[in-house]
Amino acid sequence: DIQMTQSPSSLSASVGDRVTITCRASQGISDSLAWYQQKPGKAPDLLVYGIFRLASGVPSRFSGGASGTDYTLTISPLQPEDFATYSCQQYYSSPLTFGGGTKVEIK
Amino acid sequence: EVQVLESGGGLVQPGGSLRLSCAASGFTFSSYAMSWVRQAPGKGLEWVLSISSSGDITYYADSVKGRFSVSRDNFKNTLYLQMTSLRAEDTAVYFCAKVGGNDWYFDHWGQGTLVTVSS
C-alpha cells in the first residue's frame, strides 16, 4: 500500500499569509495526487487534482506542486474562509489512500 | 447540479448489518465510477470501496473485504453499501463520492451518513 505522510498536522496562520502543506508518498505516484478541503461537519470538497489542476470554482490563490515524491498545496494569500482541514489523496493504485490531514487555524 | 445524497445510517449492534443508499442526480450516473469513503470521529478520511460505472468491477479496502459489498442500480441512479459483521471500528460518517472521470479522485461528495456500532 502507498502511504501518504502529510505535514504539518496543524498550523496557525494569519489572514494574508502564505501557507504550504506537504504530502510525501512512500513510492512513486506519478501525477495521481488530489487535495481536498473539509470544514467541520461538512463533506470534503475537491480543490486540486493531477498535482496542480484546480477543480471547478476553486480560487487561484490555491496552487499545487510537486518535487519527486513530495507534493505541496499552497494557499496565498490566506483568506478567512480558508480555515479548514486539508487532506491529500493518491489515486495511482489501490488501495486509494489519504494523508492524515492538516488543520489550518487562525493565529 | 451534481448531487449525491446518502441515507440509511444509524445505530447497530456489533455483528449486525446495515445497508446504506446513495441517490445521485445531476449527471449521467451510469457513466461514472462511485466510491464510499468513511471518516471515524475526529479522524482522517479512509477509502472503503469503489465500483466501476457498469458495476462489474469492484475494489475493497482490506479492512472491509469479506464484510462489506457494493452494488449499483443504474436505472434508479442509486449506489448501495451492504455492511455485515459490523465492528466498533466501523463507526464513522460514510460519504458517497462520485469519481472524477477516468481517474480515481472524488469530485463530488454527499453530506455523509453516520453509522454507529455499539451495544
pLDDT of residue B101: 81
What are φ and ψ of residue A81, in 5° steps? Answer: -75, -5
**Residue A20 cell numbers, joined:** 504550504
Of B47, B109, B112, the CB nearest to A95: B47
Among chain B residues, CA nearest to A51? B105
Secondary structure (DSSP) of B17-57: -EEEEEEEESS-GGGS-EEEEEE-TTS-EEEEEEE-SSSS-
Q: Please state, rounded to an integer, the average pLDDT across all residues of chain B.
A: 97
In this structure, the strands spanning B34-39 and B58-60 are unpaired
Residue that is written with C-alpha cell 453509522 in the block: B115
From A30, A18, A32, select the one nearest A89 (Cα to Cα).
A32
Nearest-CA distance B119 → chain A (Å):
25
pLDDT of residue B103: 92
pLDDT of residue B65: 98
Nearest-angstrom CA–CA distance, B103 and A36: 15
Among chain B residues, CA nearest to A44? B109
What are φ and ψ of residue B88, in 5° steps? Answer: -55, -35
Instruction: Judge whether B32 is closer than 8 Å to chain A, CB to CB.
Output: no
Nearest-angstrom CA–CA distance, B51 and A55: 23
Summarize pLDDT for B44-90 with one digit per residue, the tens: 999 999 999 999 999 999 999 999 999 999 999 999 999 999 999 99
Asked if the Cβ–Cβ distance from B95 to A43 is below 8 Å, we say: yes
Which pLDDT band, with edges at 50, 70 and 90, does B111 fall under?
very high
Strand partners, A90: A33, A97
Which pLDDT band, with edges at 50, 70 and 90, does A49 fall under?
very high
pLDDT of residue B102: 85
Order of all β-strands in the sheet with B18-25: B3-7, B18-25, B78-83, B68-73
Summarize pLDDT for B8-25 with one digit per residue, the tens: 999 999 999 999 999 999
- For residues A91 and B105, the answer to whether their CB atoms sit within 8 Å is yes
Among chain A residues, CA nearest to B107? A46
What are φ and ψ of residue A25, in 5° steps? Answer: -90, 145
